[in-house]
Chain A
């Protein structure tokens, strides 16, 4: 066997042709799309901190890393075991598994998909379905985003979820992206497109999972279209390993009277950058965008969110909360754009951070750009520590200092968790939160 070739992300031409060698031939349309991504990435390069959008994130470590391209069929039995042990596979009967960006039918299970929903892996050679080609790459279109361009250039398998008009999918669909443990850091480019036709309904969970101690880059793109009067509940879990780079672009379009909710829980990753865009493209749409970050050590999570009110009478709610310990770094950049035509917009943004350590650092930056004159837009940002008065009140009732702190941290986080509808998922996250607090106490006591 030949020696594994390693590439820096900036060696994109070599990276790209090596990736092409490992997958089926593109259709002409996909080849054009890929080439455009490649050219954009070459023009943009890896961002530096001089760029406003990347001010708080140093990508020096990423730029210096030599990555290997993943090989299909990696053995992930021990990773699957730990996913099972943590209860992550029990959340729903219907799940699809991607390993290192490759679809794994052998690990997936879709026993109870109702009529009217299709869940398919489309790779670039067979992606000819009309509704797919009409929508693929049409929602995530930020030409300035280098990592979106990088995914466009390198993506392989793509999950395509399509819900027919009026179809209701009761049981949540789970998409699990695993990164295998390997000697060399791999670069993966998972991709998903979900189209929910008018008046349909679906709930979908994306979980990103990898092992601590393995460096890798997950560079994912998710596009979601909630058509007129459709309801889409979308959850995302970042359970990446502590040494992972995690870049994720999520772009969602919400049609007339559509209702789209995306809730992200970010516990893992070494360096995480999320770009989330929600486009209110029809009147009377309702959009919700929530996030919960719990990080420690040297973890960094940068959330850049955008809500674009393009038409009147839409309502959006955004709540991001962070619990930060150790030397962790956080960024919240929340942009809300209300276009001139978008009268009667009702938009609320809240960003709250709980600092558990004096070395943790949060940068919170709300950006409201309002061009309409009859709107209700509010935003609030707070960064604070555990409230000493609350702590004293709990202790004065006999509760230990340690337990009282745990209760207050849990309560802070639960504000987001309790909005998650599926019981099993909410239960898992409650457990994870409590475990994290207990581990911290055990560490402090040791």
Chain B
């Protein structure tokens, strides 16, 4: 059984259909890239999987480890092991990164029947993750994402992912707005977290990120449907030809 199974998913907002029948299977250990032009529905798909309530789901199904994902609240999805790295990480003034992450991690641990970590154990864990991801410890005491640069926000998402240790991580345009150094830093972080137990789905507009995080599968999303799936070479083809040939195909 696949870890994530999306079947004929249709969804929209305010009566406008955005996803017009998406099917996708992701197994543990796999890295998938979903590519597509602006407005193709990439971010909508990512947000629906994470549980954002702004969308109307009109048909199809999503199962995560055999459970009906669409029936779960966002926090229940996170506790089951789903993680979304936000395209636009949210600033939360007044809440420190440490306090936030400890609350998140302990909610997840409690759900899994594990002991909650005390302050000392938690600090040991996050320091270890920070070392692997080359993140400065000062970040811990800063309010969540407040005053962070674009690159810092994206790295903070990856840091959260490292601490929360999800089974499925969805990276929503984690490359957008990053210069090449920041992009490499983020990619190194993601690569360090690749494991046979974890699946990663990257949503991106450009092929650039895929030079650094090499996917096993590439799907091209356009006009609310996956138009084409293939291996990593499909990304290169897209880079060379642009999205127009896919969109033309759709028009026919």
Contacts and interface: CB of A to CB of B under 8 A. Distances in A.
10 contacts: A396-B51, A396-B78, A396-B84, A398-B79, A398-B107, A398-B111, A400-B107, A401-B73, A401-B75, A411-B93
A125 B101 CA distance: 61
B74 A392 contact: yes
Residue among B78, B83, B93, B94 facing the most chain A CB atoms (10 A cut-off): B94
Given A396-B74, A398-B164, A390 B52 contact: no
A410 B96 CA distance: 12
Interface string A18-36: 0000000000000000000
Residue among A394, A397, A415 facing the most chain B CB atoms (10 A cut-off): A397
Given A407-B100, A407-B103, A396 B95 contact: no
Interface in B171-226: none
Contacts of B89: 393
A392 B92 contact: no
A403 interface: yes
Interface in B3-61: 50-53
Nearest to B90: A393
Contact of A403 (B50, B107, B108): B107
A411 B108 contact: no
Interface in A394-421: 394-401, 403-404, 407-408, 410-412, 414-415
Nearest to A409: B94
Interface residues of A, number: 21
A412 B94 contact: yes
A395 B95 contact: no
A393 B75 contact: no
A397 B78 contact: yes
Interface size class of B (residues with CB under 8 A): 20 to 34
Closest 9 CB pairs of A and B: A411-B94, A398-B78, A397-B104, A393-B90, A398-B107, A395-B74, A398-B108, A395-B75, A411-B95
B92 A408 contact: yes
Contacts of B100: 394, 397, 399, 407
Interface string A206-220: 000000000000000
A400 to B, nearest CB: 5
A405 to B, nearest CB: 12
Contacts of A403: 103, 107
Contacts of A394: 92, 100, 104
Nearest to B103: A399
A281 B101 CA distance: 48
B75 A400 contact: yes
Contacts of B107: 397-400, 403
Contact of A392 (B52, B99, B103, B160): B52
